[in-house]
Amino acid sequence: MSKDDNTTHAQETQEQSQQQQQETPEFYIDNDGKFVWSEAETEKADNVDDKEAEQSVSEEQKLGEDVATDEEAKASNYVEPKGKDGFYSKEEIETLGLDKLDPKKIPQELVPFYKSMQADYTRKTQALAEEKKKLKLLEEELTRKTVDLDIATKNSVPIEAVSAARNYGVEMARSILGDSFDEYNPETINLIGLYANAYIEDYKTRISITKRFQFAENYLRANDKYFDVVNNYALWMLQNKLTYAEARAIEQAKASGDVVPLLKLYDRARDELVSLGKISYGSEQPQAAASVATPQKQGQPQRQKAEPPVVEGVGGATQTMTPTKPKVKPAEFSGKTTAEQAAMLIEMGLV
């Protein structure tokens, strides 16, 4: 056989081997009916297992190296004992501190002392952590109060009202969000602010109403010598004499800040007491209570009466136009209560 024939035979053998490898299935069923992986797939699986094992060993070695590095870092801070026996003395343990001591070089008789130092260090560390926590809470409280003071100043309300508004906002947000409540979440913060602002606005409204009623009471108390008697009788009328509709209308007016219906009730009570002979003002007729419903604000300049306009008449002469005074029927006027008469006169501009 020639050299060329040998070369051709070798190529054919290699091609047949490659073809057999390509045609070999990944697995097959043998004559006993058992499931068998092909030799090629078995070699692949062995190679994968070997790689995973090598990777696992590599990771363990790396972890061990990290631990060793930490131990080396700690060991680098250790101070060697000065004694010839290679162990620390009590004085060295006291002066060096725990981070400078190698635990392996603590003599057996000083181990209890060393552990007591560790326990004392732990207690002091925990106490310091608690102090830092308290300090942080104080800083947060100071920041909160500073913000509350700014809000109180801008809204002209006491700082206690702002704190109450914040608590109300948190309570409402917690009831709405339930378990998802997170006071540091921006959406939660916005929800708290929404209800807190609503609380402040409601507070301002209630304060305004209170001031309105307080002004009327103070004015009547100062100008009516029978204030307590009349006021108590008006309360009795509200509870026992007025119809349900009248009483409900007054309660609704009180809730909305409308002081006029209550002042009219005061006038009515006073008139009844006078007619019953319980009180007497003599020649001094008291001012109608309803007339103080819209008091002049302190410091506000009184409104000047408008002067009638001057117009040019015939021949260039000037003349003053005098407005026509409103007319009122005496019978209609006399049938009104004192408060209603005062309101009518004020409306017509006569007083």
pLDDT band at 192 (very low <50, low <70, confident <90, very high): confident
Any domain includes 212: no
End of a domain among 157, 177, 206? 206
Residue 292 to residues 119, 281, 305: CA-CA distances in angstroms?
A: 76, 19, 20
Smallest CA-to-CA distance from 166 within 179, 153, 147 is with 147
Record the tokens describing residue 205, joined without a space: 């409204």
On whether both 24 and 72 belong to a single domain, the answer is yes
End of a domain among 53, 77, 101? 77
Say yes or no to pLDDT of 311 above 50. Answer: no
What mean pLDDT do residues 23-40 have?
56
**Residue 298: what pLDDT?**
43
C-alpha 6, offset from chain centre: 93
28 pairs with which residues across the strands?
Answer: 36
**Residue 156: what pLDDT?**
84
What mean pLDDT do residues 155-159 have?
85
On whether both 241 and 276 belong to a single domain, the answer is yes
What mean pLDDT do residues 28-37 have?
57
On whether both 73 and 94 belong to a single domain, the answer is no
**Residue 246: what pLDDT?**
92
For the CA atoms of the chain, what is the radius of gyration? 49
Identify the three-state secondary structure at position 8: helix
Q: Is-contact 253 290, C-beta < 8 A?
A: no
CA–CA distance, 149 with 156 (Å, rounded to integer): 10
Say yes or no to pLDDT of 20 above 60. Answer: no
Any domain includes 297: no
Percent of the chain with pLDDT over 70: 60
End of a domain among 32, 54, 77? 77
The pair phi, psi for residue 224, each rounded to 5°, is -125, 110
pLDDT band at 159 (very low <50, low <70, confident <90, very high): confident
Any domain includes 82: no
Any domain includes 114: yes
**Residue 49: what pLDDT?**
59
Any domain includes 305: no
Angle, in degrees to the nearest 10, between helices 244-256 and 260-275:
130
Any domain includes 51: yes
Stated length of the chain: 351
Any domain includes 85: no
**Residue 329: what pLDDT?**
63
On whether both 247 and 283 belong to a single domain, the answer is yes
What is the DSSP secondary structure assignment for residue 215, as one 8-state letter? H
On whether both 145 and 163 belong to a single domain, the answer is yes
CA–CA distance, 328 with 260 (Å, rounded to integer): 22
pLDDT band at 229 (very low <50, low <70, confident <90, very high): very high
Any domain includes 184: yes
Domain total in the chain: 4
- Which amino acid, residue 254? K
pLDDT band at 297 (very low <50, low <70, confident <90, very high): very low
Half-sphere exposure of 180 (CA within 13 A, CB side): 6
* Category of 349 on φ-ψ map: left (φ > 0), alpha (ψ -120 to 50) or beta: left
Look up tokens 């219906």; give the residue.
261
What mean pLDDT do residues 1-17 have?
55
**Residue 269: what pLDDT?**
92
pTM of the model: 0.43
**Residue 140: what pLDDT?**
75
On whether both 125 and 141 belong to a single domain, the answer is no
Residue 159 to residues 149, 154, 164: CA-CA distances in angstroms?
A: 6, 11, 9
Percent of the chain with pLDDT over 90: 11
On whether both 101 and 71 belong to a single domain, the answer is no
Say yes or no to pLDDT of 19 above 80. Answer: no
Q: Is-contact 41 26, C-beta < 8 A?
A: yes
Domain holding 274, by residue range, is 224-292
Smallest CA-to-CA distance from 167 within 194, 142, 192 is with 192
**Residue 4: what pLDDT?**
53
